[in-house]
Amino acid sequence: MGTSTREAALVAICACYLAVALGAYAITISPAAVFLALPQYTANRYLNDGIRLLNTGQYTQAKRVYKQALAQLWFCRDTAQLGLEKASVYGDPDDELRPDEIKQRIDHILVKQPDDPHAYLFLGDLYATHDDYTTAIEYYEKAIARDRTLAQGYFNLGVVYDKLGKIEQSLAMYECAVAHAAWDPRYLNNLAYAYFRHQDYGEALATYEKALKLDPQFLLTYFELANSFRARGHPEQALRYLEKGAALFDNLKLTKLEKNQTRWYFRLGADKLYLDTLPQKQCYAYRSLAATLDQLRSTAEAKRYREKPCASDGVDERNIQKWVEAESRHIGSAR
C-alpha cells in the first residue's frame, strides 16, 4: 500500500522521535546501543535547531545546520533535505532571484509537504514584496494557524500592519513575535518602534536599550533609537547613537551579517524611505549623523560625514540627503 507525500513526511518525522526514544531506552540495555543512541540524539538536535532558525527567519544559519545534518546523518535525511529546501528559498544573500523562481521553489515545498507553514510564510513575503498586503496577510495568518510558534510569521505580519498604518494590530503582532523569541534584536527593535508610534515612549526606550544590550551588532537599532530621541527633541542623545552606528558601518564583516542585510525603512508621516543595500544604509548613517552634527553646530565634523563616500549612486544619495534634511525638520515633533 502506498502513502501520500504528506503521510511519508509525517512518518519520517515520527520515526526520528521514535528513534530517539528507543535509543534512550537502549542505553540501559547494552553498551553497543550507545553507538546507535548518539547519532539519534544528534539528529534530533539538528532538526530542532533547524526548525528554530526557520521559525525566526534565520535562513542562512538554518541552511548551514541542515547541510551539516545531511553530511553526518544516515537517517531522517528526507526531513533534513526538506529543511534545507526551505532555508534555500531565497538563495544566498548576494543572489538576485526573480519572483517566479521563488514561487517555483515554494510550490515544490508544498508538493512535498502540503499545508506547510513555512511555505505559507514565504508566500506572504512574496505578496508583501509586491505590495499586495491583503493576500500577504491571508498567507501569514495561514502560516501562524499551522504553527503558533512561528515568530517570523507574527513579525512579518506586524510589518505589513505597520505599513498599512494599523498601529494596534502591528503592536500586537510584534508582542507575539517577542513572546516566542525574546532574544531576537529584530523583533525587539520593531516592538520598540511600535511602542513609540503608540506614544508609549518609556516602553519604547526600554525596549530599544534591551535590544542593543542583547545584540550591540544589530545596526538598525542605533538609528531607530537616534530618531526617537530626535523626535522627542533630544539631538545630543541622538548623536551618541548615530556616532556609534556610523562607526560600526566601517566594519565590513559586521555589515554582512544576515541580520544586517534585511530591508530597512523609516517613516515620516505618510512618507517612507526604503534602504535595501549596504551602500544605501551606509549613506543614510553618514548623512544622518552629518545633519545632527550641523544642528549641534559641529560644522567641521558635519562636513566630514556629509562628504564621506558610501558607494551609493547619485540618485540614492540625493534622495537620502533630502530625507535626512526632512528628519531634521521634525525634531521635537513627538513631545
3-class secondary structure, 272: strand
- Specify if 104 maps to a domain: no
Amino acid in the structure at residue 169: Q
User: Which of 104, 175, 177 lies closest to 144 in space, CA to CA?
Assistant: 177
Using one digit for the tens of pLDDT, what is the confidence trace for 16-30?
A: 433 333 333 333 434
Question: End-to-end alpha-carbon separation of the chain, Å?
Answer: 70
Cell of 306: 556629509
pLDDT at 137 over 80: yes
Question: Domain boundary residue among 88, 104, 133?
Answer: 88
Asked if 156 and 124 touch (Cβ cutoff 8 Å), the reply is yes
- Specify if 137 maps to a domain: no
Q: Is the dihedral of CA 102, 103, 104, 109 positive or negative?
A: positive
More confident position, 304 or 313: 304
Computed on alpha carbons and rounded to an integer, the radius of gyration of the chain in Å comes to 23
- For residues 157 and 150, what is the distance between their CA atoms, to the nearest angstrom? 11
- Specify if 26 maps to a domain: yes
Q: Give the count of alpha carbons within 13 A of 97, CB side only.
A: 18
Question: Domain boundary residue among 56, 88, 120?
Answer: 88
CATH at residue 333: 1.25.40
Cell of 47: 532538526
Amino acid in the structure at residue 38: L
- Specify if 44 maps to a domain: yes
Which range is least confidently modeled, 34-43, 135-144, 194-203? 34-43
Count other Cβ atoms within 10 Å, centred on residue 335: 9
User: Which of 248, 275, 269 lies closest to 327 in space, CA to CA?
Assistant: 269
Task: Give the residue carrying C-alpha cell 496577510.
Answer: 137
Q: Indicate the number of domains in the chain.
A: 2
The DSSP output letter for 261 is: S
- Specify if 184 maps to a domain: no
Highest mean pLDDT among 12-21, 84-93, 227-236: 227-236
Asked if 76 and 104 touch (Cβ cutoff 8 Å), the reply is no
Instruction: Report the predicted TM-score, pTM, of the whole model to 2 decimal places.
Output: 0.84
Cell of 105: 521553489
- For residues 212 and 329, what is the distance between their CA atoms, to the nearest angstrom? 27
Residue 76: predicted pLDDT: 82
The DSSP output letter for 89 is: T
Cell of 123: 508566500
pLDDT at 291 over 60: yes
Query: What value does the mean pLDDT take over residues 274-299?
Result: 93
- Specify if 58 maps to a domain: yes
| Burial call 189-205: b when 16+ CB within 10 Å, e when fewer | bbbbbbbbbeeeeeebb
- For residues 62 and 9, what is the distance between their CA atoms, to the nearest angstrom? 19
- For residues 143 and 138, what is the distance between their CA atoms, to the nearest angstrom? 9
Residue 330: predicted pLDDT: 81
- Specify if 242 maps to a domain: yes
Task: Give the residue carrying C-alpha cell 512618507.
Answer: 271
- For residues 142 and 146, what is the distance between their CA atoms, to the nearest angstrom? 6
- Specify if 263 maps to a domain: yes
Q: Which domain holds residue 257?
A: 215-335
Asked if 189 and 217 touch (Cβ cutoff 8 Å), the reply is no
Question: Domain boundary residue among 38, 55, 88?
Answer: 88
Using one digit for the tens of pLDDT, what is the confidence trace for 29-44?
A: 344 443 444 466 677 7
- For residues 231 and 154, what is the distance between their CA atoms, to the nearest angstrom? 27
Q: Is the dihedral of CA 215, 216, 217, 218 positive or negative?
A: positive
Asked if 323 and 266 touch (Cβ cutoff 8 Å), the reply is yes
Asked if 316 and 279 touch (Cβ cutoff 8 Å), the reply is yes
pLDDT at 162 over 90: yes
Task: Give the residue carrying C-alpha cell 516602553.
Answer: 203
